[in-house]
Amino acid sequence: MTVNKLYGICMLIMSGLIMACSNSFLAAGDPENVKPKTHEGIDYNAQQPETGDVTKQLELFRSKTENGDPDFGSKVLIFDDSMDMKKIQAALDAVHGQQKYNQFTAERYAFLFKPGKYSLTVNVDYYVQAAGLGMLPGDVVIAGAVQSKVVTRNNNVTTMFWRSAENMLVDARKKSYWAVSQAAPLRRMHIKNDLQFDMGGWASGGYLANSIVEGEAGSFTGQQWLTRNSRFDRWFGVNWNATFVGVENAPQDKWGDRPYTVIEETPIIREKPFLAIDKEGRYGVFVPDIEKDVKGVSWGNGREQGSFFSINEFYIAKPLVDSAATINAALKTGKHLLLTPGVYKTDEAIQVSNPHTIILGLGLATIMPQTGKPALLTADVDGIIVAGIIIDAGPVNSPVLFQMGKRGCANDHARHPATIHDVYCRVGGPAAASADICVEINSNNVIADHLWLWRADHGVDATWKDTRSKNGIIVNGDDVTIYGLFNEHFQEYQTLWNGERGETYFYQCEIPYDPPSQQQWSSGTTPGYAGYKVAAGVQQHKAFGLGIYSFFHNEMILENAIETPQGDGIEITHTVNFSARKGGIRHHLNGDGVSTYNLPAGARFYKWPGEGQ
């Protein structure tokens, strides 16, 4: 095996300990502080539908065809800078008041800003997407703030999920805060001031892509972070695993001293498509071209290579109107699909068979199968794009939630790869649910750009028995590349990679908290299931910046955080293991690396013997 700067960092936090780490700190102790189940006594599970007061505040801004806008439904709010800023602010504040702690609600919103300048504070909460409709970030200027600042007890933001801000210039009067964890990306943003990803307590995210920060960016308390194709003046902090791919002014790669992994150029990427208004005032979706070996943002010179698709080429689906049958009928005619905000409870799979089809969600649109069928199936054809959706497991077990290409498919898509952007799968949380596999990639040459796959560790009936799922992701296709793979709590292998020449850039994984016994959680005679598994027989594989953690409720052992075949074609660069509460992880990779199991109280950093000297 080729080991390229393969160091292990092993850590244990004991109850009540305050850990100093890389000139930052983490408030440690009971893992309930790491993943709290309530915010200040507010029940996560309480459904809070839109109130009459919120409805009144929003009515002026809901998508209306008489204003020349497409009919995006009642949960899309469209603003232009000729409107009364106080009334816009009141509408934004009404949604903020409703959604700030509303973790498991069916409410979804998209805030869309037409090109212009706005004096506003835009709070982005659960199930809210705030996005500019310009062709460039500078077309929409927010003089004020675009932020996520809501905190829990001890200033935790470890459960600030499912939100996004995209395609705006923020002329900030002071430091900006995007205090989040998983499934909360910043994309195509231009922020004129410093940017901080925590509020002083635990943070566990997140993702910054294709953005410019005119100041310093980072987190004092964040556990991990991925930055891709961006630029800032200076980076600070992040405690366990910070990865930079194609980033200008990235910090020095100093793994073991600082937890930084730096890849100078992004080998292949398509930036996420976005809804926009062109210079003629027409709505459409801009799809950036595939790029290779790139550094920095795609829009830095004031233009961007790609294609603009008229909104008339899309079927605009609405959750209270459409079924899988109506959506599939539109897809068969050659339409692209725009999913407006809401939860789509389907009785059959949404099926994509035409090449180059675009599936784009607004406001974290959610698909939830009800009858044990998959949520989304794609054929093994060129250039399919899936972006901006949540897929929830339903009450009847699905064999797979999102399958790209049928099993056994073998077509070459090197010229026109399929791409996946900001797709999040959940098994449990809002309700007990089950699915064998969240994501299965069978097609070759797929590029995935930010996935969070989550078997619920909190929520309704989030137990080993009631919330069932074996695998977060299985990759059977060859030449698959993933940037930002977050994958947590599944009951067998979190990631199982069977395809050749796979590449992962940043991996965050929490092993399940809740195995009831070692006997029930062992792969044959091996204790536990590896957090990242490359199957026997794979000849070539690369992975960079992998963090795998355990917070077992019971005394439990994970033998290996990572398991791979041996060979010169296998490269694993930079790993970190962390354990708290009970049990731990014996080895980083294939029986090597220092154990986090039964360490004495305290935090320790280790380099693997003979590496990085």
Which has more pLDDT, 245 or 580?
245
Q: How confident is the model at residue 6 (pLDDT cuts 50, 70, 90)?
A: low
DSSP 168-203: EEEEESS-EEB---SS--EEEEEESS-EES-SSS-B
pLDDT per residue over 107-128, tens digit each?
A: 999 999 999 999 999 999 999 9
For the residues 420-438, what does the mean pLDDT come to? 96
Q: What pLDDT score does 598 carry?
A: 59
Looking at residue 19, its pLDDT comes to: 34
Task: Find the catalytic residue in 510, 559, 563, 571.
Answer: 510
**Beta bridge pairs of residue 493:** none
How many CB atoms sit inside 10 A of residue 289's CB?
A: 11
Query: What pLDDT score was predicted for residue 2?
Result: 52
What pLDDT is stored for residue 48 in this prediction?
57
Please name the residues in contact with 366: beta carbons below 8 A apart, sequence gap of 6 or more: 106, 108, 342, 343, 344, 389, 390, 391, 392
Residue type present at position 118: Y
pLDDT tens, position by position, 273-295: 999 999 999 999 999 999 999 99
Confidence of residue 579 (pLDDT cuts 50, 70, 90): confident
Q: Which domains does the chain have, with CATH numbers?
A: 35-240 (2.160.20.10), 315-589 (2.160.20.10)
Residue 425 and residue 437: Cα distance in Å, rounded?
A: 10
Q: Looking at per-residue confidence, does 521 or 582 come out higher?
A: 521
Query: What global pTM score does this model have?
Result: 0.93
Q: Give the list of residues 6+ apart from residue 524 with CB closer than 8 angstroms, or none.
A: none
**CB-side neighbour CA atoms (13 Å) of 529:** 24
Q: What is the pLDDT of residue 31?
A: 33
Residue 510 a catalytic site member: yes
pLDDT the model gives residue 458: 92
Residue 32 pLDDT more than 60? no
